[in-house]
Structure 1
Amino acid sequence: MTELGLPKEIQACLFDLDGVITKTAVVHAAAWKRTFDDFLRRRDGDGFRPFGDADYDEYVDGRPRADGVRSFLASRGIELPEGKPDDSPDDATVHGLGNRKNDLLLELIRTDGVEAYDSTLRYVEAVRAHGLRTAVVSSSANCADVLKSVGAESLFDVRVDGVVAAERQLPGKPRPDTFLAAAKDLGVDASAAAVFEDALAGMDAGRSGHFGYVVGVDRVGQGDALRAHGADVVVRDLAELGAPR
């Protein structure tokens, strides 16, 4: 292991955005809950079963927006028309619900702002100072704006986000394709890249992509689940790996 807490063969680090770089995972969870609870309440009335933390972790966290809608609704035995990417947020379609969630997310970000995990930014700076290349890999279509808002866009050599994935037709997490694309863009093999993720879907992507090291970032007390889904190591904060404090 190096002083960065990584195997010596690692040449690049691939970081998820929400929950790893920025404190936006809780905002995403709140936007999803409002979206699904409103939909389920209209559909099922007062007897509806609310969207919960376990639903977020299992079916939504880390996945592209439309995939999250499909995955959660399937868990409740609900199937909706796909619709189109520009559907109204009021439409009862996969894309309509996804757009409703995104509108709520942007509203929450505008109201509350975005914060970065300072320890993560220091760790990324340390990684770069040691000559490793860096990428941000996120299913969010708002990734570039969020990075800019916290002044972190210059810390990453490559960005593979929801916009890039759509342009390249890359399937999202738990498939490894976005991480593999980032490693390729950085000019390294997956075996020489480390993945940093807080979502179970991200752990699955790291494992199935045969990356050299998978770091699970446990912000919500799901360390055992992160390990079960493929983490080589689990930390509560990247400072634990050896970044300057």
Structure 2
Amino acid sequence: MSRSPASTRLASLRALLFDLDGVLTPTADVHRQAWSRLFGAFLESRGNHQAYTDEDYFTYIDGRPRYDGVRAFLASRGISLPEGHPEDGPELETVFGLGNRKNRTFNETLRDQGVTAYPGSVKLLDAAAASGLMMAVVTSSRNGTAVLAAAGLSDRFGVVVDGLLSVEHGVAGKPAPDTYLHAAGLLGLPASACAVVEDAPSGIDAGRAGQFGLVIGVDRGVGAETLLAHGADLVVEDLAELVPLLPAR
């Protein structure tokens, strides 16, 4: 990554707001596998021969709150299901039931395989802490706390805005900017003093809509061109690329 006005702007900011899955940890892969297992079997059971693909994941699901992802994907296939209730069992074919079925699969995989943070992401966290930058995690996942604990990252963040907190406080999820704005507020900072770090188009949309000081895309497979088209100021393939751009303290 070459230096640019966008990349040099990072040195003037006071906080980094990180998405979690696919940015700090490779759990986006676990989520993607869980969604594939869910909707592959679901479509087959209904005789729908338009197969579920990774493109569906990136277009309708990635970065969104879980049940919003279910709604968006079903709408893409012209399938209508009852909403149901948040406590619906995973065997029920409702929006909430399917979302809970996916979450069961995700948690089983997390339990069996564990998770290790990206080494480049850990390098950036270390360097950011040494530079005096404030940091927060902003994730649509309701499993955010469990993922941070499994990856050994819990003690690095005083502010974690996840799917559970969003529901509790009535904060709209991505692509709305509200969760990121909420995290900035908890840090006592305006959006203009914070950088958003995201791998999902919906998260980039949120950062742009919130008028944050910098919106950084991490290309974990969706493509740099896509992230830039959604409004990323710059795109990296690994967060370690950002370490030389941090402010000296």
Structure 1's 5 and 125: CA in aligned 2 closer, same or farther, altered over 3 A?
farther
Instruction: State whether residues 58 and 222 of structure 2, in contact with CA within 8 Å, keep that contact through their aligned partners in structure 1.
Output: no
TM-score, length of structure 2 as denominator length: 0.93
For 2:140, the equivalent position in structure 1 comes to 139
Q: Confirm whether residue 33 of structure 1 aligns to residue 29 of structure 2.
A: no
Gaps of 5+ in 2: none
The equivalent of 2:56 in structure 1 is 55
- The whole-number CA distance in structure 2 between the counterparts of 1:221 and 1:90 is 31
- Name the structure 2 match of 1:74: 75
Letter in 2 for 1:53: D
Q: Does 1:15 align with 2:18?
A: yes
User: Residue 63 of structure 2: SS of its match in structure 1?
Assistant: coil
What's the secondary structure of 1:195's corresponding residue?
Answer: strand
Cα offset for 1:193?
0.5
C-alpha root-mean-square deviation of aligned residues, in Å?
1.7
Residue identity opposite 1:214 in structure 2: V
Q: Which runs of 5+ in 1 are unaligned?
A: none
- Deviations for 1:175-213, whole angstroms, at most 9, x for unmatched residues? 111000000000110011000000011011011111110
Which residue does the alignment assign to 1:97? 98
| AA matched with 2:211 | H
**Secondary structure in 2 matching 1:134:** strand
Task: Indicate if the aligned counterparts of 1:5 and 1:241 stay in contact, CA closer than 8 A.
Answer: no
How many aligned residue pairs are there?
241
Deviation beyond 4 Å, 4+ runs, structure 1: none
What is the distance in 2 between the residues matched to 1:49 and 1:107? 27
Superposition pairs of residues 157-176 of structure 1, within 5 angstroms: 157-176=158-177
Quote the residue 1:83 is aligned against.
84
Q: Aligned partners of 1:152, 1:109: CA distance in 2, in Å?
A: 15
Structure-2 residue corresponding to 1:179 = 180
Query: Per-residue CA shift, 1:96-120, capped at 9, x if unaligned?
Result: 0000000010111122111111211
